[in-house]
Amino acid sequence: MKKLLLPLFSVILLISCGGLKTSTENQNSGQYSSSGNLKSEKAFNKAYQRIKLKDLKKNLYVIASDEMEGRDTGSRGQKKAGEYIIKFYKDLGISFPKKLTSYYQKVPSSYMNKMGGGNLPDSENILAFIEGTEKPEEIIVISAHYDHVGTKNGEVYNGADDDGSGTVAVMQIAKAFQSAKKAGNGPKRSILFLHVTGEEHGLFGSSYYSDNPVFPLENTVADLNIDMIGRDDAHYNFAKHGIPVAFFFDGIHEDYHRPTDDVEKIDFPLLQKRTQLVFATAWELANREARIVVDKK
């Protein structure tokens, strides 16, 4: 099929007991095994356990703080959030794609405004990259938008769930893959960690990337997009090019686009499980022998 949309509530049964069953499950240890040999399974389990609740909490309390001023597209607060995200990747030793000169892909105001973005200023997508060991030309994209709606009438709309939760999930998934790489178990396919801008105003960041891809779209195996996974209450721009998309989303809740979408309301154990689910999905896609097939029906 052309696109695979996975609303998170439809897969919650997979993670309600603590993880994803990709192949075999060790009932006693609570660890979950990816397909492949024993070495691969051990590497997966070790990386899976690197996604820690305390790290998700630490990063979300920064990303969704008042200091970030609601992270409106192109705003000072969004740029601060972007700087924090980039420092996170630098500290891990994860660089940007070689085709770029930095972690930033500029999204010009002219592009957004001609698409109905009003008078938005220039903004940036943020791209971090781990090159594959065997099939580096094939790309798995893990994406989330890091913008929100800013400040209104003196109130900061922190967007802890929308999409602070997805933003920190991508960061922790990157940490898990990097830990596996350092242990000599890097992914076979390359992983692009894509933080897009302008989504709240009209999906501008993902649209700009699909119109100006850093890697050929025909080499993009799948996009795993994460948007609002921190509560229990698709991106079209990849799917329109025939790229399979899995959309992890927990649904609209009462604090959606309100100043009450705060970190204190995040269910962190659930956020951890969901982040591990996306990581397990990405691990399988990145390390399976054959690229997943698009049947175009």
Average pLDDT, 10 consecutive residues per value, the chain (297 residues): 35 32 37 60 96 98 98 98 98 98 98 93 98 98 98 97 97 98 97 97 96 97 93 76 91 93 98 97 96 79
CA 295 to chain CA centroid, Å, is 25
Q: Cα(3)–Cα(239) distance, rounded to whole angstroms?
A: 5
Q: How do strand 245-249 and strand 220-227 relate by DSSP bridges?
A: parallel
Do residues 163 and 81 make contact, with C-beta atoms less than 8 angstroms apart?
A: no
Q: Cα(271)–Cα(221) distance, rounded to whole angstroms?
A: 25
CA 2 to chain CA centroid, Å, is 20
Phi/psi region, residue 50 (left: phi>0; alpha: psi -120 to 50; beta: rest), is alpha
Instruction: Give the position of tokens 């100006």.
Output: 212
Question: In this predicted structure, what is the pLDDT of residue 32?
Answer: 42
Q: Which residue type, as a one-letter code, is found at position 268?
A: F
Q: In 3-state terms, what secondary structure has residue 241? A: coil
Question: In this predicted structure, what is the pLDDT of residue 250?
Answer: 86
Q: Cα(159)–Cα(258) distance, rounded to whole angstroms?
A: 8
Instruction: Give the position of tokens 């924090």.
Output: 84
- Nearest in space to 268 (alpha carbons), one of 19, 20, 53, 14: 53
Helix (H) and strand (E) counts in the chain:
10, 10
How is residue 273 written in tokens? Answer: 């499980």
Q: Which residues contact 223 (CB under 8 A, 6 or more apart)?
A: 141, 142, 143, 235, 238, 243, 244, 245, 246
